[in-house]
């Protein structure tokens, strides 16, 4: 194979060049080869886009470091059989490496994951690298940090620092190549405007990435190069680390043009979470002109991406609240609003000091991270409260797969003589599922620490260079974990129905309930009607809310007793994404009236869709009975408003008042869908008329007509809040 063909798999060439080296060094060398030989381009928005998928075989991305697309080997071999034998040497090495680094899941864990009961560790995880380190210090500034700590950490860390130097070399190589390409594009331009644009891009790369970006144009070019080179994750606190360059730019029209190009890029690549505003550790507001520009641009573009969030607190200016309401009124389901007054204390309870807790941002859908200072799972796993309830009433047998024994035996439910026995059995099932999720998450963390070294992110997350430890191996300042809870209200409603109808009113026996559940309520219509109509969470009924909050608090307690392999503690949250309906379909009948495999379950910390019937104040009162400071991850509260009322000045003022009341009561987060009821129903029947209709689904916004039918029904069933 000639040199040109070898360049088709540059990642593998660098990674397997010397297999005696530490994996981090090999990843660094792979980054250099990829930076040298991967085809590069300026995308349709005029930004330097790095697409590792252009390579055959080896790839690099944040979620798994070096990974392999074996299908690309096969496709290339079919198209170029003359090169198949030579390229196969890398494929064979890659297969051996994948086998060696495989995350072997126990039989129990696989059964539970396959049955929609829990999962742990199967996702490589988001994080928020501080791209501002290169934008504002340059790679030379990072090299100074490397040199400083290389002299301090002298015990067998040379290989780690070499890997980080290789990563910065790769960034510089890319910058040089983009400068050359920009110069060529300027020469070949068809218009004066295009010529001038690429001249400025070439000039930017005379400075970046080695030195700090002098203006927003240079900052934007180097940001997009880094963001795509990393694999397209979450921009994080973009308005904070880009603000110096924004302010330094005299020509604000040019700066806004670059911001628009980046926004188009975020949309084209389905970028994750971008966070604006917030407070510092003295509770001073940090909103700046770029924060406002981002909110206005989001409302103007009306895209469902990126996943835009905003932080508020006691000193948030009124004008920012107005911009928040205006942006939500645009119908994009964003920004999602987070409350510093709850999130910061929650993080501090896990040992994160105020100077860093106030640096939090969101990642992925809505998981909480410390900007440029942590690797906190994001997310490490999920536990289904619905399945814990199912196992409680089946003595640990999964009723959805022919009776395969899935969890622990907690006693024949027909013989339970008190409600306390039922709740104890439920909590034992919940603890079992939670422990399995944490154990599998830790197993995966350990494997990734060995095989998933990432020297690029190690340069962009504080603690790694300072300690001489990789991003995945305890390097970041904070290494907590996040296991999410799903179907919370379904379990609370079910437990209350049992307590009321079986043990308080004694209208039914446990044996009758279990028989009805096993029969999917067929032949038990009266029982089903009574259990379905029993009081539900979300209606400000203390008895129901107390049970629901108690079982959730136990979940949080179980998590906080367990350490992560990364060196922190586990915490919890609720971010169902679009998975809620999948979990509903994997669950049997429940005492809240849910039938076997029915997909609709609670898709946030609020009520099961359609079960909150007493208005937004009652819903808020129920949700505030949770202790939101126990949630170290995103704790989604979804609420739906009629567009007609919301989009008036009075409607927006009412929303702001409602949000402030919710936050004053201890709420962590609120997300709003603004839509017309008739529009939703018509979109089901006539999707082509509503291609741009956006709704909120779990932790992200999505085009309604592109959602699965069961997810559409879940959104429709959510109660409209009156304002």
Type and span of the H or E element at 169: helix 158-187
How far, CA to CA in Å, does 513 sit from each of 340, 413, 520, 562?
44, 9, 10, 35
Query: At 504, is the pLDDT very low, low, confident or very high (cuts 50, 70, 90)?
Result: very high
Q: What is the mean pLDDT of the chain?
A: 94
User: What pLDDT digit, counting tens, does each position of 417-439 carry?
Assistant: 999 999 999 999 999 999 999 99
**pLDDT(352) > 80:** yes
pLDDT at 481: 95
Give Cβ neighbours of residue 320 (< 8 Å, ≥ 6 apart). Answer: 277, 285, 287, 291, 292, 310, 312
User: What pLDDT digit, counting tens, does each position of 88-121 carry?
Assistant: 889 999 998 887 777 555 667 777 888 889 989 8
Query: At 723, is the pLDDT very low, low, confident or very high (cuts 50, 70, 90)?
Result: low
User: What pLDDT digit, counting tens, does each position of 62-85 carry?
Assistant: 988 999 999 999 998 898 898 888
Average pLDDT for residues 512-541, to the nearest whole number?
98
pLDDT at 710: 87
> What share of the chain in percent tops pLDDT 90?
81
Hey, is 5 helix, strand or coil?
helix
pLDDT at 1: 41
pLDDT at 577: 67
**pLDDT(578) > 80:** no
> What share of the chain in percent tops pLDDT 70?
98
What gap in Å lies between CA 323 and CA 122, rounded to an integer?
A: 38
Across-strand partners of 338?
311, 669
pLDDT at 4: 45
CB atoms within 10 A of CB 412: 13
Long-range contacts of 517-520 (CB under 8 A, 24+ apart): 517/393, 517/399, 517/588, 517/589, 517/590, 517/591, 518/399, 518/589, 520/588, 520/589, 520/595, 520/596
Q: The pTM is what?
A: 0.94
More confident residue, 617 or 522: 522
Complete DSSP assignment for 424-474: HHHHHHHHHHHHHHHHHHHHHHHHHHHH---HHHHTTSTTHHHHT--TTTT
What gap in Å lies between CA 474 and CA 476, rounded to an integer?
A: 6
pLDDT at 406: 79
Across-strand partners of 658?
none
Hey, is 357 helix, strand or coil?
helix
More confident residue, 381 or 404: 381
């Amino acid at each position: 194979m000639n040199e040109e063909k070898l360049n088709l798999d540059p990642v593998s060439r660098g990674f397997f060049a010397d297999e005696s080296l530490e994996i981090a060094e090999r990843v660094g060398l792979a980054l250099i080869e990829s930076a040298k030989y991967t085809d590069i381009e300026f995308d349709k928005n005029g930004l330097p886009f790095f697409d590792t998928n252009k390579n055959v075989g080896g790839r690099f991305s944040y979620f798994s470091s070096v990974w392999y697309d074996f299908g690309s080997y096969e496709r290339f071999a079919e198209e170029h059989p003359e090169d198949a034998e030579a390229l196969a040497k890398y494929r064979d090495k890659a297969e051996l490496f994948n086998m060696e680094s495989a995350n072997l899941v126990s039989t129990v864990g696989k059964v539970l994951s396959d049955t929609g009961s829990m999962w742990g560790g199967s996702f490589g995880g988001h994080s928020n690298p501080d791209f501002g380190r290169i934008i504002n210090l340059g790679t030379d500034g990072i090299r100074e940090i490397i040199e400083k700590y290389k002299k301090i950490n002298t015990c067998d860390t040379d290989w780690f620092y070499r890997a980080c130097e290789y990563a910065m070399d790769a960034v510089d190589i890319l910058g040089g190549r983009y400068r050359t390409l920009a110069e060529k594009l300027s020469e070949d331009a068809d218009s004066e405007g295009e010529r001038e644009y690429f001249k400025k891009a070439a000039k930017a790369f005379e400075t970046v990435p080695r030195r700090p970006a002098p203006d927003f144009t240079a900052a934007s070019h180097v940001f997009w190069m880094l963001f795509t080179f990393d694999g397209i994750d979450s921009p994080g606190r973009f308005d904070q680390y880009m603000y110096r360059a924004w302010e330094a730019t005299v020509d604000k029209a040019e700066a806004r043009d670059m911001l628009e190009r980046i926004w188009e890029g975020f949309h084209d690549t389905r970028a994750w979470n971008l966070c604006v505003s917030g407070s510092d550790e003295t509770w001073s507001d940090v909103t700046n002109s770029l924060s406002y520009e981002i909110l206005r641009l989001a409302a103007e573009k009306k895209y469902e991406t990126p996943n835009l969030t905003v932080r508020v607190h006691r000193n948030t200016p009124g004008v920012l609240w107005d911009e928040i309401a205006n942006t939500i009124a645009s119908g994009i389901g964003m920004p999602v609003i987070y409350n510093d007054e709850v999130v910061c204390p929650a993080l501090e309870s896990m040992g994160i000091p105020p100077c860093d807790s106030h640096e939090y941002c969101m990642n992925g859908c809505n998981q909480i991270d410390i900007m440029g200072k942590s690797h906190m799972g994001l997310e490490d796993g999920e536990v289904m409260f619905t399945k814990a309830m199912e196992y409680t009433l089946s003595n640990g047998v999964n009723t959805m797969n022919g009776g395969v024994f899935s969890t622990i035996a907690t006693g024949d439910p027909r013989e339970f003589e008190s409600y306390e026995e039922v709740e104890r059995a439920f909590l034992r099932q919940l603890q079992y599922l939670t422990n399995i999720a944490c154990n599998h998450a830790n197993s995966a963390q350990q494997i990734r620490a060995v095989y998933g070294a990432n020297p690029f992110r190690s340069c962009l997350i504080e603690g790694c260079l300072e300690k001489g430890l990789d991003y995945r191996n305890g390097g970041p300042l904070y290494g907590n974990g996040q296991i999410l809870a799903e179907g919370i209200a379904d379990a609370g409603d079910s437990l209350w129905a049992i307590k009321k109808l079986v043990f308080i009113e004694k209208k039914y026996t446990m044996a009758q309930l279990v028989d009805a559940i096993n029969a999917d309520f067929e032949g038990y219509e009266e029982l089903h009607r009574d259990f379905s109509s029993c009081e539900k969470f979300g209606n400000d009924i203390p008895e129901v809310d107390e049970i629901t909050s108690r079982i959730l608090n136990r979940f949080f307690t179980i998590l906080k007793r367990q350490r992560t392999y990364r060196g922190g503690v586990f915490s919890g949250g609720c971010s169902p994404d679009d998975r809620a309906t999948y979990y509903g379909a994997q669950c049997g009948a429940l005492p809240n009236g849910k039938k076997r495999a029915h997909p609709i379950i609670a898709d946030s910390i609020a009520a099961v869709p359609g079960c909150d019937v007493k208005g937004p104040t009652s819903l808020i009162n129920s949700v505030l009975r949770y202790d939101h400071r126990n949630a170290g991850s995103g704790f989604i509260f979804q609420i739906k408003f009629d567009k007609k009322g919301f989009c008036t000045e009075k409607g927006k003022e009412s929303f702001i008042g409602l949000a402030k009341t919710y936050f004053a009561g201890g709420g962590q987060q609120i997300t709003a869908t603004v839509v017309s009821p008739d529009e939703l129903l018509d979109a089901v029947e006539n999707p082509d008329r509503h291609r741009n209709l956006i709704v909120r689904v779990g932790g992200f916004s999505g085009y309604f007509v592109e959602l699965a039918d069961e997810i559409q029904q879940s959104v429709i069933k959510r109660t409209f809040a009156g304002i």
